[in-house]
Amino acid sequence: MWLELALILIVFLGVVILGSSRLGTMIQLFAAQSLVLSATPWLVHPGKHAVVLAVGTVVIKVLLMPNLLFWAMRHVSIRREVQPLIGYGKTLLLGGFLIGAAFLISSRMDLPVRETSNLLVPCAFSVIMIGFLLLVSRFKAITQVVGYLVMENGIFLFALLLLDKTPLLVEMGILLDIFVGVLVMGIVINHINQEFGSASTVNLTNLRD
């Protein structure tokens, strides 16, 4: 029961992120989503492995990454996504369609491992699709980083199917790679803003060494 509630809340927070225009709110929602996500390893497979993974998730995704994104947001003086590629209403409708597609696809999958919950796989796919939609429908680099991180949360959920088989070192390595990726994106955002006075990724085509 608690796992199902956590999964539903993770998807709900992803949908709220889709409908948000304020970058600060999006980062806070991502931190909240990651906080709920950190509890899922224990709910799926209680043990020392799950505790270490949960602590790593909190440290990197709830504390370090949001602080880095807030630093980047303050540095480039951007507060909101003004003109997204797809309007917020249409984005929410498309997000609802993608969630429905995720549940439909998941219902037809024949997995080689036993699921702890029937909602685990469809919710994982839903979060991945929400993150991908956020990534491709926004211009601001910070917003796209948030979309990338939301996608990774979905991948994290899907990986819980193999929690008792996947080495902890590999999982912690993935978390570290994500952190390094966000750090690099922070540098890229700063470079774009210095060159063009805007953090829109449209300007990437004009960057030269």
Determine contact, residues 139/84, Cβ cutoff 8 Å.
Answer: yes
Shortest CA distance to 92 belongs to which of 52, 142, 133, 41?
133
Among the ranges given (16-30, 48-62, 70-84, 97-111), the one the predictor scored with the smallest mean pLDDT: 70-84
Strands (E), the chain: none
Q: Does the predicted model carry a pTM greater than 0.75?
A: yes
pLDDT band at 197 (very low <50, low <70, confident <90, very high): low
Domain boundaries, the chain: 2-206
Could you give the count of Cα atoms lying within 13 Å of 128 in the half-sphere of its Cβ?
16
Region 45-60: mean pLDDT is: 83
Tell me, rounded to whole angstroms, the distance of Cα 146 from its chain centroid. Answer: 6
Shortest CA distance to 192 belongs to which of 204, 180, 182?
204
Token reading at 201: 């990724």
List residues bridging with 140 in a β-sheet: 200
User: Tell me, what's the pLDDT at 209?
Assistant: 45
List residues bridging with 200 in a β-sheet: 140
Q: How does pLDDT run across 116-137, given as a tens digit for each residue?
A: 778 888 999 999 999 999 888 8
**DSSP per-residue letters across 108-148:** T---SS--S-TTHHHHHHHHHHHHHHHHHH--BHHHHHHHH
